[in-house]
Amino acid sequence: MSLSSYVSLGRSGLRVSPFALGTMTFGEDWGWGADAETSKAIMARYIELGGNFIDTANGYTCGHAEHIIGEYIGKDSALRDRVVLATKFGMNLYPGDPNGGGASTKAIVRACEQSLRRLQTDYIDLYWMHVPDRFTPIEETLRTLENLVASGKVRYIGFSDTPGWKVAQAQAIASMRGWTTLAGLQLEYSLLERSVEAELVPMAEELGIGVVVWSPLANGMLSGKYTRANAGTVDGSRATTFGLPFGEREFSIIDALADIAKRHETNIAAVALAWVRSRSGVSSTLLGARTVAHLDANVKALDVKLAAEDIARLDGLSTPPMTFISRLAGLADMVVHHSTTVNGQSQPAWWGAPANDAARY
């Protein structure tokens, strides 16, 4: 498989690479990213490998990431047409201005115009709401996005990091009013963060929304840099800043990844990425890279074909605590299908069911 083995984003007509290039690392403004020339080299390598999906945001390195992308892609019209360019609105770059961020009409239009300028393009292929804005009615957000699509400035829309009920509400309103519906939903998803499986991913599948995964390596915790053997000698504070502390659960998963990687003659990160790619509902997965070598190493995950026992082992070690809905899912199937087999799934009799027709009142 390769980056040019394109997939549909949900039920939309947009085709994207199975790995998207995330650009939160573009620019050194936050003290840990890649400089402009390295960032452009990463984009060049990604495109050379067949990649077509580049994801950024208005707030990444205070707009510098968008500027770097624009300097590389915006000046080449043929390349711009080939690339699926995604960016986000919502982050406030203006201290003291309550309308500087969020999902209001004023904020979205302003952010869109500024992103178009920095990206040196006249349209955005996929425009994400970065985070929900609880003080703005969803109808206002959707109407503004519909107007941007109608104007030709935006092609497709999506939400990122938004509760399932809000996504479902938005999709229903857009459908009923004939507005542009959501094509994508961007979520954190990894072996260390599987809570999205309870409702968000099933909802996205049901509504035809493609899931785009961010932080598939859990902020680097599953990159292979951190192991049980070097615990205490390698500084893990960077990885745990936005993630979980290293504990027995985390190291047991890393140990399993190392064992599976050895058998597949690949690296820990590639196995962790291959696991995410195997999950139901996932259209594309974001790869972040600070060097070309880092990108090349992660792309190797496309060549990893995990065996059923590999997936089962990783699933068993990383299964999250059950939610109310997931806990009752099995019971629901049992009481609905009662002693029958439906779609290949057999269910036993439930404890309170009548034994025969005569037992019913």
Of the residues 46, 60, 127, 156, which is catalytic?
Answer: 60
Concerning whether 60 is annotated as a catalytic residue, the answer is yes
Q: Tokens representing 33?
A: 């990213």
Other Cβ atoms less than 10 A from the Cβ of 73: the count is: 21
How are beta strands 154-160 and 124-129 bridged, if at all? Answer: parallel
DSSP labels, 96-139: T-TTSSSSSHHHHHHHHHHHHHHHT-S-EEEEEE-S--TTS-HH
Q: How many angstroms separate the Cα of 17 from the Cα of each of 7, 272, 284?
A: 6, 18, 7
State phi, psi for 283 to the nearest 5 degrees: -90, -50
Provide the token pair at 331.
Answer: 């019971």
The tokens for 296 are 């090349």
Contact partners, residue 338, CB within 8 Å, separation at least 6: 347, 349, 350, 353
- The set of catalytic residues is 60
